[in-house]
Structure 1
Amino acid sequence: MSMKKIYWGGLLCLLAFTTAYGDELVIRDGFQTTRNASALQGRPLAEGGVTWESTPNLVVTKGESESAVMTTDEKAILAKVPLTLEADCVVLTAEVRPSGQTDDKSSWLGIGLGTGKSITWDGGLFFLLHDGGVMECYYCPPGKNRMQIKLQRAASVKPTTTAVKLSLQYQKGSNTLTVWVDDVNVIRNFKLGDFVPNLNFAGFSGVHLKQGVPLVTSFSMVITK
């Protein structure tokens, strides 16, 4: 048996694997475009061989300095990609813009893994930012109330912060969740007990967000088997 280290977005996933179980899939998108307001739905990712599935209010727009995903209204948003490789370890990372949140206390933006049927990632894991840097993390048994893992204010996130990197890692062997905000470990190896998350889809979601301003500027995922 050999050991392999995977560095991704400042994170380290240390995996043991045999030659028969050394598959890795990298999925990545920087939302590069030369057009304004092109639909995210049906858009291929830059790397990984998968295509975005999203609510119709999400568009990709070229900004002055970078391209980004924006919304055309304040309704709920959901963007997801399928996990096409059965995963032993998943590391999901997105760079988000807290300035895209409104003053509405119910405004939030986050990342998740799950069935992809709802913005709160039913059957999976869900990590969000709202209210000027308050972060919440949940696991979501299908058909039941969300179970909160943690609620606290992320010290690095202010209402004026231009970019925040959210990262979530799930390890199947230990059935644990680890979360980072800007490479600061805020949840470490949280044991999920008898709850095993659905890993059909991963992506980002939110609600009551500002129209026409950057929300997400990069998305990536490393899936290892």
Structure 2
Amino acid sequence: MDQNDIVIITATFFLAGIVKGVTGMGLPTVAMGVLGAVLSPLTAATLLLVPSFVTNVWQLLTGPGFKPLLRRLWPMMAAVVVGTFVGSSLLAGGAAGRTTSALGLTLIAYAAYTLCAVPRRIPSSWQPVATPLVGFATGLVTGATGVFVIPAVPYLQALDLDKEELVQALGLSFTVSTIALALALGFQGALPAGNLVPSLLAVVPALIGMAAGQAIRQRISPSAFRRGFLICLLLLGCEMVLRPVFAG
């Protein structure tokens, strides 16, 4: 990596940390969205692994009840791992154009859903079937694009979880997705050892950004910030989908 790449990576993880500090999520999505626009999605995904793991374990362990949450959501987490291994062949295959388009579509779907969807609740009678299906679908998207938010985040938001439980559930889902992605890419032989050091160093700007985001949250409306962030994400996703068309 040259000096420009290092500057881009540092700035990206600082920005992603700010988003996570303000909204409680978004670090992997921002990192993949921005880095996936300037680097290959596979490179972006490997750079994401350590900062995502550190910040999400932190989020997971600060919640009120890890064990009850794990007992409830373990079928989803197990299915995430399976789906990630199945979907990882696309990300590891080196088809940059297809992977970039898939990543762009994922960003569009997440941003559009979050901006427009009406909050809903999943009936408890549906959850035994829906939970592993959502986990498997999330794993497929994670393995193919490096983004772990669809459909896990909307689904977890639709469960009967209080605010603290939801934050911890998101931390659990993101942590498992990060570990599964690392294992799947390693299994595919697509985890470049040279990217692990930059990924480790990216933890620093991510944590500084999180601290800055938490300070910003006290001064602005988190909902207004989130809306602006999602609109930017939507535009970025559109650019990534259209890029192969104009390149061709």
Q: What is the TM-score normalised by the length of structure 2?
A: 0.29
TM-score (structure 1 length as normaliser): 0.31
* Bigger helix fraction: 2
Q: Which has the higher strand share?
A: 1
